């Protein structure tokens, strides 16, 4: 498996115009320079429209309709959050953890707040013989996630559930999961009002975590133990400077022990491993 940092160092990232052109022409970056491309009138019109959308702040990924995650394509539009490079760390760490600790048996995994399905699909692609459930509150997001699962040939390996966290579709699933992995919304709503223009194009429901950015951590940490097996793990992506506040939540909950904290490439605490106790 090529890790995120290795991919980033392998070659210089494409410029935005290159991304738009390769999408428009359905070609590789190298083809832009190896071949003599000439845009017809229709293509010129489409490219002009793309550039205008970008000038207004719309993310390139929404304009092209795709992004890359863990080395494979993920369809995205304004129904789902654009997967971030930091989330590859969450996925890589989860895959390695499962290989190191659960290689001898089949396990049950829940991807909570699945969005585009990027986490569940990555796990299904890299881990065989496990049962994966992916849930989201948004039926529109789940439509995209199902499309992405089919496009990556893992549609038969993932069960999709529409649910507000654990409210629907989890009847009879008590103590079912060995691992729950989640990249929840974790931005303060006040930060959203002053965020980059690009964030305004993404679904607020996938970003807004209330006044302090901790709303979903409080809910997930309090509710997840019911659905985890004994000594099961909750693996979470966290935001900048949130670790101490999450430790306080854990202190009140008393149902998890913090076993590991993983930093991202900017030396920011990004992924936490919580083991169920009691």
CA 85 from chain centre, in angstroms, equals 9
pLDDT per residue as tens digits for the range 120-170: 999 999 998 899 999 999 999 999 999 999 999 999 999 999 999 999 888
Q: Where are the domains of the chain?
A: 4-56, 85-276
Q: Which CATH class is domain 85-276?
A: alpha beta
Share of the chain above pLDDT 70, in %: 94
pLDDT per residue as tens digits for the range 66-79: 999 999 999 999 99
Cβ of 27: how many Cβ atoms within 10 Å? Answer: 14
pLDDT per residue as tens digits for the range 97-120: 999 999 778 999 999 999 999 999
């Amino acid at each position: 498996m090529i890790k995120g940092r290795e991919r980033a160092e392998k070659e210089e990232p494409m410029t935005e115009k290159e991304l738009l052109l390769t999408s428009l022409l359905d070609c590789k970056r190298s083809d832009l320079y190896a071949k003599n491309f000439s845009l017809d009138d229709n293509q010129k019109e489409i490219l002009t429209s793309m550039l205008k959308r970008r000038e207004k702040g719309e993310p390139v990924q929404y304009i092209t309709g795709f992004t890359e995650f863990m080395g494979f394509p993920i369809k995205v539009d304004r129904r789902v959050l654009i997967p971030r490079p930091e989330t590859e760390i969450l996925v890589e760490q989860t895959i390695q953890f499962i290989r190191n600790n659960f290689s001898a048996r089949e396990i049950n995994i829940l991807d909570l707040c699945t969005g585009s399905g990027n986490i569940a699909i990555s796990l299904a692609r890299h881990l065989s013989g496990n049962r994966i459930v992916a849930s989201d509150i948004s039926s529109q997001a789940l439509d995209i996630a199902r499309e992405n699962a089919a496009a990556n040939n893992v549609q038969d390996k993932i069960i999709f559930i529409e649910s507000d966290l654990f409210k629907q579709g989890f009847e009879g699933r008590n103590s079912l999961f060995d691992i729950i992995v989640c990249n929840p919304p974790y931005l303060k709503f006040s930060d959203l009002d002053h965020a980059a223009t690009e964030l305004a194009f993404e679904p607020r429901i996938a970003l807004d975590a209330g006044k302090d950015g901790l709303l979903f951590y409080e809910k997930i940490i309090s509710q997840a133990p019911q659905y985890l097996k004994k000594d099961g793990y909750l693996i979470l992506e966290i935001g900048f400077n949130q670790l101490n506040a999450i430790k306080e939540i854990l202190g009140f909950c008393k149902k998890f022990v913090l076993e590991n904290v993983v930093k991202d490439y900017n030396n920011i605490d990004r992924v936490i491993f919580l083991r169920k106790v009691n």
